[in-house]
Amino acid sequence: MSSYAEKVLKQVKRDNPGQPEFHQAVAEVLGSLKLVVDSDKRYEKAGLLERLVEPERVLMFRIPWVDDKGRVRINKGYRVQFNSAIGPYKGGLRFHPSVNLSVMKFLGFEQIFKNSLTGLAIGGAKGGSNFDPKGKSDGEVMRFCQSFMTEMFRHIGVDTDIPAGDIGVGSREIGYLMGQYKRIRNEYVGVLTGKGLSYGGSLVRKEATGYGLVYLSEEALNARSDTLAGKTVTVSGSGNVAIYTCEKAAQLGAKVVTVSDSDGWVYDPAGINLDVLKQVKEEERGRLTAYAERVKSAEYHARGNGSVWDVTCDVAFPCATQNELDEVAAAKLVKDGVILVAEGANMPTTAKGTDIFLENSVIFLPGKAANAGGVATSVLEMSQTDTRLFWSFEKVERKLQTIVKHIFTSIDDAANRYGVRGNYVVGSNIAGFEKVADAMMAEGIV
């Protein structure tokens, strides 16, 4: 008997050629959903998987802007509104030269399940551009963001689609995007999250993804009567997620010994110095060479000379980008005795790398559960903007912790119900799917 999930995966590969990241994300999810959909014919009859893998809407547009030398520049813009069964579309914007339709669709697809796992009423989307903010002046970034929003404003709205940040889109970019939206629409509404504190932002939003990642890891360790305290931790990336992962891990008593960027990586056996890291990355928008110049205990390795995964650790947090941890790195980490790997980035582990962790009983927390604290806190930001209230740091952090506990219980419970105890890949995919599938069945063939 042929499997419904396998049949749909074949169709996805056939009908979406040249989209390897999207295929990879769908293959991982459908590999888990087999356990649910193959034995219940209602799903196939309703064409549920076929609808789930097809975005409700894909927007692609031109972004013309003028650089500081007066030259006309053109970038590609995207918004993939993937699934609104349980709420308005929500998901980040990524500005990076590697952005293309495949990357946008993989991220939008993942976002459906991530958003559902938070227990909040938000659908899945993603967007961005192949624009590279690196090396651009503030004026260039502003003109680009204004041009991006001049097209995107007509497709988004507080009850339709609420974008946020991602790689290359931080508080500066969100500020420029928000300014242009407000100017065009002549209304102040919380149509973006990740806003600055002076114009509707939330405390803890900046920290939320990294903090949530560490909280979920602590939950998984606690479930095995273990804790992060005293552990040696490696982190990749040195952006928003990486920095606040380092901060919370250190607060819980772990020692973080690595960070990286696209030019190289740092090993600091004394423990990453957060003040210097924040100064270099958040204030100066500099490179990690500047960290190594200022911190005597740090070793700098240029790109191509090994990677952070060569460093022996108990816990690894990949927080840079997709497919940055392959099977060779995974095997090395296992050989060196890693006990937990949690994905701060989206799909940073390749499919083969993931299999190696699961086969070797490493606690593996996939991105859609592990980095969901960011989008969850975006919803807390939306509540504050809507009510014009401003909650304390402690209040938002408490709510984030409650949401993370709910995520852990849901993925652990789903793994147990389907007979794969401790397999949080399957647990996350199924737990995220259940609510979306219920809603899609209830809403009819739309």
Cα–Cα distance, 272 to 266 (Å, whole number): 9
**Could you identify the residue written with the tokens 């929500």?**
90
- Type of residue numbered 336: D
Q: Considering CB under 6 A, how many residues would be counted as binding ligand NDP?
A: 23
Beta carbon nearer to ligand NDP, 4 or 408 = 408
Smallest gap from Cβ 398 to ligand NDP, in A, equals 19
The two counts, helices (H) then strands (E), for the chain are 17, 12
Cα–Cα distance, 219 to 229 (Å, whole number): 13
Alpha-helical runs (H) found in 252-366: 274-278, 288-294, 327-335, 351-359
Task: Report the candidate in 163, 25, 27, 36 with the shortest Cα–Cα distance to residue 89.
Answer: 163
Orientation of helix 171-185 relative to helix 138-152, angle to 10°: 50
Q: Is 91 in the site for ligand NDP (CB under 6 A)?
A: no
**Of positions 75, 81, 346, 349, contacts ligand NDP by CB under 6 A:** 346
- Catalytic-residue membership of 126: yes
Residue nearest to ligand NDP (CB): 239
Phi and psi angles of residue 163, each rounded to the nearest 5 degrees, phi first: -70, 170
List the catalytic residue out of 105, 126, 248, 435.
Answer: 126
Q: Which stretch binds ligand NDP (CB under 6 A): 1-9, 237-245, 349-357, 387-395?
A: 237-245
Determine if residue 289 is labeled as part of a ligand binding site.
no
Beta carbon nearer to ligand NDP, 227 or 289 = 289
Contact 176, 146 (CB under 8 A): yes
Beta carbon nearer to ligand NDP, 9 or 133 = 133
Q: Contact letters (x/-) for ligand NDP, 170-209, by CB under 6 A? A: ---------------------------------------x
**Of positions 49, 233, 280, 319, contacts ligand NDP by CB under 6 A:** 319
**Of positions 165, 190, 353, 366, contacts ligand NDP by CB under 6 A:** 165
Smallest gap from Cβ 276 to ligand NDP, in A, equals 15
What's the chain's Rg over C-alpha atoms?
Answer: 21
Determine if residue 41 is labeled as part of a ligand binding site.
no
CA distances to 123, 209, 228, 416, 424 from 409, rounded to whole Å, are 21, 18, 19, 10, 11
Determine if residue 240 is labeled as part of a ligand binding site.
yes
**Tokens for 60?**
């692609």
Give SS3 for 97: coil
Q: Is 245 in the site for ligand NDP (CB under 6 A)?
A: no
Which residues here bind ligand NDP, judged by CB under 6 A?
A: 98, 165-168, 209, 237-242, 261-263, 319-321, 344-346, 371, 374
Q: Which residues are catalytic?
A: 126
Give the annotated binding-site residues: 90, 111, 114, 165, 209, 240, 378
